[in-house]
Amino acid sequence: MQEGSDRVGAAQEQARILAHALPFLRRYAGATIVVKYGGHAMGEEALARQFGRDIALLKQVGVNPVVIHGGGPQINAMLKRLAIQSTFIDGLRVTDAAMVEVVEMVLAGTVNKQVAGLINAAGALAVGISGKDGGLIRARKLTRTRRDPESHIERALDLGFVGEPERIDVRVIHALTGAGLIPVIAPVGVGADGATYNINADTAAGAIAAALGATRLLMLTDVPGVLDAEKQTIPELTVAEVEAAIADGRITGGMIPKVETCAAAVQGGVQGAVILDGRVPHAALLELFTEGGVGTLVKR
């Protein structure tokens, strides 16, 4: 008798969850959702497998997910094995010709195929590519300046083969999604001269989401979102509020480039961009299919 009651209770709970999710499933049916999957979020094996299942589920319910991944920890591990020293300027890895070969090998090789494999293992069909494939990401050399504290002269900094997106050609993405496949993209671009450029994964994801006119850009990271003075997650910010919060110092440090990427994506045509904690189980599903979501939504 108890067993039958348990089965009924479980079925009722499943029905309740489905009824709650149904309006959101209908909202995102056919929508393009760009997901930036961070290197640190890949570190936990159980969470990584769960991420693969969640992306596969999105495809199965009629969403078109596009995944852009990072791989900083994996690059660091390989550079350490090869005894190659890294130098960072303003959070960006200075990348010489030898190092960019390692970056491409790790991002477009090992990590890219691992992420695609997670999704394939969950029953979907994912294809790993880099931004060089099909001319997806045309890159230009990233320039940075720094003011000399004594002379107050702005000096250009040479970051080597570090780039930023100049143009996004989404035809290869449309070809893959049109065939029922999930693109998994390594943030490596090609310059007009054929040179390979290492591109920040957040920046690449924002540019690709804007070029696709995505419904959502989900930035899976290692923080729950933008926090207020009481360390509570701020549910929503407009682009104007983001700019004001940066100007008055409420948003600082490593959160600045993330919210700037979200704001630029929204201004470029993305309906909404969300910063959320990729370490939370089913973070992407909770954001899309529950009322209020779990991160900070940046909108127009």
- Please give the pLDDT value at position 86: 80
CATH of 29-299, one of 3.40.1160.10, 3.30.450.20, 3.40.190.90, 3.40.30.10: 3.40.1160.10
- pLDDT band, very low/low/confident/very high, at 33 (cuts 50, 70, 90): very high
Q: How far apart are CA 179 and CA 216, in angstroms?
A: 21
126 pLDDT higher than 70: yes
Q: Which residue has the tokens 């599903």?
A: 285
- Please give the pLDDT value at position 101: 93
What's the pLDDT tens digit per position in 185-220?
999 999 999 999 999 999 999 999 999 999 999 999
Q: What is the rounded average pLDDT of the residues 128-153?
A: 84
Domain boundaries, the chain: 29-299
Higher pLDDT, 55 or 29: 55
- DSSP per residue over 220-250, as a string? EESS-S-B-TTSPBP-EEEHHHHHHHHHTTS
- Please give the pLDDT value at position 198: 94
What's the pLDDT tens digit per position in 234-261?
999 999 999 999 998 888 888 888 999 9
- Please give the pLDDT value at position 72: 87
Q: What share of the chain is helix, strand, coil (3-state, %, to 5)?
A: 45, 25, 30
- Please give the pLDDT value at position 4: 58
Calculate the average pLDDT of the chain: 88
